[in-house]
């Protein structure tokens, strides 16, 4: 399996030549990884500071207003970051995650959550006005079934919103700087230190696109699926508290950068 992860097949998520062995391994790894780290995920992750919360709250408010709906599905909900801050804007909020264990505490807190695969969502056609997918796309091996399911379960004029995934073009353009960044902020080492049950192999299959997603290719999948409009933007917001604070200070939270000039990608697709 290690040989498979090194080849170029994983760099073509926009195609239908999917390796089923890798697909299964990635899904299983995500399930196992978040089952293990569920109790301490947000603490270890460390990217949920006050300014990031303010930013995502404004984004959710804007998305709700644009969709003119009151039902939200959060795919890859994890420990409930989006579920908590979407509450003022939606009457019905459902979280979906492949890890049953990470959903336990959310269920105890009263959140409506379902353990399911994002490729096969157990909801009727036209069930939701908004689908959110925050820092999730880089964990997925392929995207054609996700875009298909998103289109199916969204209402007319419904919106799919993803954010906070590293764009591959930016990573490639600034490869040296990204290498330095990963050396200084070693995410793998941080997680493995936090829980000795985690392994390097598990981490790498969970972070299958840790070098970035092909954002433009994924947006093309939404277009082919039939979404009326698909808008891609790039930004710097929500990386670390110091960067997020600097974005606020410089007024960069409202700026949109050209592809390759900002690391984080956002997709807004309207049905």
In this prediction, residue 42 carries a pLDDT of 86
pLDDT digits (tens, 9 = 90+) for 121-174: 999 999 999 999 999 999 999 999 999 999 999 999 999 999 999 999 999 999
pLDDT digits (tens, 9 = 90+) for 226-256: 999 999 999 888 776 666 666 666 665 555 6
* Domains of the chain by start residue, with CATH: 2-270 (3.40.50.150)
Task: List strands edge to edge, sheet with 229-235.
Answer: 112-115, 92-97, 71-75, 128-134, 154-166, 264-270, 229-235
In this prediction, residue 46 carries a pLDDT of 74
Q: What is the pTM of this model?
A: 0.90
In this prediction, residue 257 carries a pLDDT of 80
Give the CA distances from residue 181 to residues 2, 49, 95, 174, 175, in Å, rounded to whole numbers and listed in that order.
24, 20, 32, 10, 10
């Amino acid at each position: 399996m290690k040989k498979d992860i090194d080849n170029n097949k994983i760099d073509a998520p926009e195609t239908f030549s999917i390796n089923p062995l890798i697909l299964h391994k990635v899904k299983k790894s995500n399930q196992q990884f978040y089952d293990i780290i569920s109790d301490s995920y947000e603490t270890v992750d460390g990217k949920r500071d006050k300014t990031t919360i303010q930013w995502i709250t404004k984004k959710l408010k804007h998305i709700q207003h644009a969709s003119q709906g009151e039902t939200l599905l959060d795919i890859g909900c994890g420990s409930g970051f989006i579920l908590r801050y979407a509450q003022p804007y939606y009457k019905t909020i459902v979280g979906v995650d492949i890890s049953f264990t990470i959903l336990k505490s959310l269920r105890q807190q009263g959140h409506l959550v379902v353990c399911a695969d994002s490729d096969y969502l157990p909801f009727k056609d036209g069930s939701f006005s908004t689908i959110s997918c925050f820092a999730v796309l880089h964990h997925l091996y392929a995207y054609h079934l996700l875009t298909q399911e998103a289109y199916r379960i969204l209402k007319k004029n419904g919106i799919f919103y993803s954010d906070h995934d590293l764009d591959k073009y930016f990573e490639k353009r600034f490869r040296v700087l990204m290498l330095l960044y990963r050396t200084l902020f070693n995410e793998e080492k941080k997680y493995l230190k936090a829980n000795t049950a985690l392994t390097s192999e598990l981490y790498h299959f969970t972070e299958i696109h840790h070098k970035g997603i092909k954002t433009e290719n994924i947006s093309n999948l939404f277009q082919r699926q039939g979404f009326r409009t698909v808008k891609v933007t790039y930004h710097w917001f929500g990386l670390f508290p110091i960067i997020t604070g600097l974005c606020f200070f410089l007024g960069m939270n409202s700026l949109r950068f050209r592809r390759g000039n900002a690391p984080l990608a956002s997709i807004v697709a309207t049905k």
